[in-house]
């Protein structure tokens, strides 16, 4: 029987991995400059963590989570997002007692059972950051600027930084009422999900991709004119700090986030290079979430980057080319050559030189084809003739130049190249 991967879940092959590694290393480097420390959480959590954290009326909880009972009848779910898990770990570890303020960065797979399409997968990967214990609008602006800097560090320029305020528990209910009444006047033009959202979560209508819904709410009242003074002041302060940080942004009052815990600041990084899946990252403030999940009443703000979408954008911008290989290939001809080379190869590997070799005694022509296929930058050829002379032939696969080196001097030769 021939097996295939599960629908919406993909393999990442060695030929693709360099782009992923570049993305991950750049994130850890950039976010580390701002004081974010890496955290790793399980991919499986108790289902109730996400129901309480994300919101029972969200599309994620209602339709998209992979949930199941384990052998002890506990309801568990594959994590659909990273924030709830990080907050759970922050509370459970007692980190809030040690200092209160914490900055985390995480990298890993998330799972949502939605219709697979370009830029949207059932197993997808995110890089996320969370700052807990800080209410100053400066941290909102700093995170937004940090994300902007991260994308530019990758070499990307085809993106826009968009911001909004979603209000708070004081002013958003009134806006939800106003917006809900507006949606009722458009009821017949809305999709079934948006019709249902009128009573449960009207803001989510702004995130609907249905063309009829987009047209129906084009003239909808916007939350910007319904903010309370505290939310309005906070949003103005975020914009002021962004200007001080030199980060260009666009105010888009139609930005909403798909998870209930967001309040006040919301932001996205969008592009016109990926079709309908135009958001490559997004996040916002979630004051109250720590308390909702059993911790102290602390504020928080964070965002997550969709790794697959960013890699697609890198590919569109010719920034995802495979890194130049630093592999050395040993072409060994005959048992005598193998006996002579094996200790040398072992020593070189321990000195940090990446080495591959032929294990099956193929011809030199066949071995050279394999070395070329692997994009090895150097081939070391040792046969009976070379062993007799105590020499190895070193061939530069880029320039095709060759030289002879004493077998006993190979370690010094490659260390010199590396330096």
**Please, which pLDDT band fits residue 322 given cuts at 50, 70 and 90?**
low
Q: What is the pLDDT of residues 336-393, one digit of tens each?
A: 999 988 999 998 998 888 999 988 889 999 999 999 888 898 999 999 889 999 999 9
pLDDT of res. 207: 73
Residue range 234-239: mean pLDDT, rounded: 96
Q: What is the pTM (predicted TM-score) of this model?
A: 0.85
| Mean pLDDT comparison of 232-236, 322-326, 345-349, highest-scoring range | 232-236
Q: What are the extents of the domains in the chain?
A: 17-171+227-316, 327-413
Q: What is the pLDDT of residues 122-156, one digit of tens each?
A: 999 999 999 999 999 999 999 999 999 999 999 99
Q: What is the pLDDT of residues 21-62, one digit of tens each?
A: 999 999 999 999 999 999 999 999 999 998 887 776 676 777
Average pLDDT over the chain reads 88
pLDDT of res. 258: 61
pLDDT of res. 308: 93
Q: What is the pLDDT of residues 169-226, one digit of tens each?
A: 888 888 888 888 888 887 778 888 788 777 777 777 777 777 888 888 777 888 877 8
CATH number, span 327-413: 3.40.50.800
**Please, which pLDDT band fits residue 419 given cuts at 50, 70 and 90?**
very low
Reply yes or no on domain 17-171+227-316 having CATH 3.30.930.10: yes
pLDDT of res. 285: 95
The residue among 266 and 203 whose pLDDT is bigger is 266
Give the alpha-carbon dihedral of 302, 308, 310, 314, to 10 degrees: 160
Residue range 318-334: mean pLDDT, rounded: 83
């Amino acid at each position: 029987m021939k097996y295939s991967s599960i629908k919406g879940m993909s393999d990442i092959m060695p030929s693709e991995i360099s782009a992923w590694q570049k993305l991950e290393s750049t994130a850890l480097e950039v976010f580390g400059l701002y004081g974010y420390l890496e955290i790793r959480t399980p991919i499986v959590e108790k289902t109730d963590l996400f129901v309480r954290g994300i919101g029972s009326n969200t599309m994620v909880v209602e339709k998209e989570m992979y949930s199941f009972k384990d052998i002890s009848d506990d309801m568990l779910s594959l994590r659909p997002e990273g924030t709830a898990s990080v907050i759970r770990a922050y509370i459970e570890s007692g980190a809030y007692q040690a200092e209160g303020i914490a900055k985390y960065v995480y990298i890993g797979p998330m799972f949502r059972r939605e219709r697979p399409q370009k830029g949207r997968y059932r197993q997808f990967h995110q890089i996320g950051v969370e700052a807990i214990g800080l209410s100053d609008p400066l941290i909102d602006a700093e995170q937004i600027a940090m994300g902007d800097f991260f994308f530019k560090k990758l070499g990307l320029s085809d993106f826009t930084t968009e911001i909004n305020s979603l209000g708070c528990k004081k002013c958003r209910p009134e806006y939800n009422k106003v917006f809900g009444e507006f949606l009722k006047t458009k009821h017949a033009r809305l999709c079934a999900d948006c019709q249902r959202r009128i009573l449960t979560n009207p803001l989510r209508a702004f995130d609907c991709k249905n063309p009829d819904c987009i047209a129906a709410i084009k003239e909808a009242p916007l939350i910007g004119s319904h903010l309370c003074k505290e939310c309005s002041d906070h949003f103005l302060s975020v914009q002021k700090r962004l200007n001080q940080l030199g980060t260009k942004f666009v105010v888009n009052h139609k930005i909403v986030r798909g998870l209930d815990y967001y309040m006040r600041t919301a932001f996205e990084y969008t592009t016109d290079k990926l079709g309908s899946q135009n958001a490559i990252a997004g996040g916002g403030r979630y004051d109250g979430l720590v308390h909702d999940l059993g911790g102290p009443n602390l504020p928080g703000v964070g965002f997550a980057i969709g790794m697959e979408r960013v890699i697609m954008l890198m590919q569109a911008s010719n920034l995802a080319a495979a890194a130049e290989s630093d592999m050395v290939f040993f072409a060994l001809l005959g048992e005598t050559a193998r006996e002579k080379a094996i200790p040398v190869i072992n020593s070189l590997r321990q000195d940090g030189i990446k080495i591959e070799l032929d294990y099956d005694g193929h011809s030199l022509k066949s071995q050279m084809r394999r070395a070329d296929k692997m994009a090895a930058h150097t081939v070391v050829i040792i046969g009976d003739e070379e062993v007799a002379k105590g020499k190895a032939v070193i061939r530069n696969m880029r320039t095709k130049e060759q030289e002879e080196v004493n077998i006993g001097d190979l370690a010094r030769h490659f260390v010199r190249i590396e330096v």
